[in-house]
């Protein structure tokens, strides 16, 4: 079962993935158990990963992306050239807490020291 992403979420994930490097490669041997395990480890560690595919036509790459997502319960984000982008949210990862709120400035402002008083 693959996860469906909203268009806005998919766009945000594509932007996040732009600077990433591939963490796994699929070559002539296809999607072996060891490659699938490496992709799974990458998803557990990073949630969003790139996978490079060598020596496969476009339709084969699309099938590989669908198979990876189905077997690992992940969401396909993007397939561009020989690179597949896959996302799976890690429920164990802690979401960063919101930054603490800034203290409000006091209502009584001091006068500007540069301001000259007229006599």
Per-residue pLDDT at 91: 73
Q: Among 109, 75, 80, 90, which Cα is nearest to 7's?
A: 75
Per-residue pLDDT at 83: 96
Per-residue pLDDT tens over the stretch 69-83:
999 999 999 999 999
Per-residue pLDDT at 115: 65
Query: H helices of the chain, where?
Result: 7-17, 33-46, 58-72
In the sheet that holds 48-53, the strands lie side by side as 22-26, 48-53, 83-87, 75-80
Per-residue pLDDT at 107: 54
- Which portions of the chain are predicted below pLDDT 70? 1-2, 93-119
Given this structure, which CATH class describes domain 7-87?
alpha beta
Per-residue pLDDT at 108: 56
Q: Among 52, 63, 59, 41, which Cα is nearest to 17's?
A: 52
Instruction: Give the Cα separation of 93 and 109 in Å (integer).
Output: 44
Q: pTM for the whole thing?
A: 0.73
Among all chains, which residue has been given the structure tokens 């982008």?
85
């Amino acid at each position: 079962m693959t996860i469906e992403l909203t268009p806005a979420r998919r766009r945000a994930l594509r932007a996040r993935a732009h600077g990433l490097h591939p963490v796994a490669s699929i070559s002539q041997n296809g999607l072996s158990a060891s490659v699938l395990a490496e992709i799974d480890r990458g998803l557990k560690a990073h949630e969003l990963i790139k996978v490079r595919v060598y020596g496969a036509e476009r339709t084969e790459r699309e099938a590989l992306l669908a198979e990876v997502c189905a077997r690992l319960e992940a969401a396909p984000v993007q397939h561009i050239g020989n690179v597949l982008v896959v996302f799976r949210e890690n429920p164990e990862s802690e979401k960063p807490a919101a930054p603490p709120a800034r203290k409000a400035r006091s209502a009584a402002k001091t006068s500007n020291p540069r301001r000259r008083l007229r006599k």
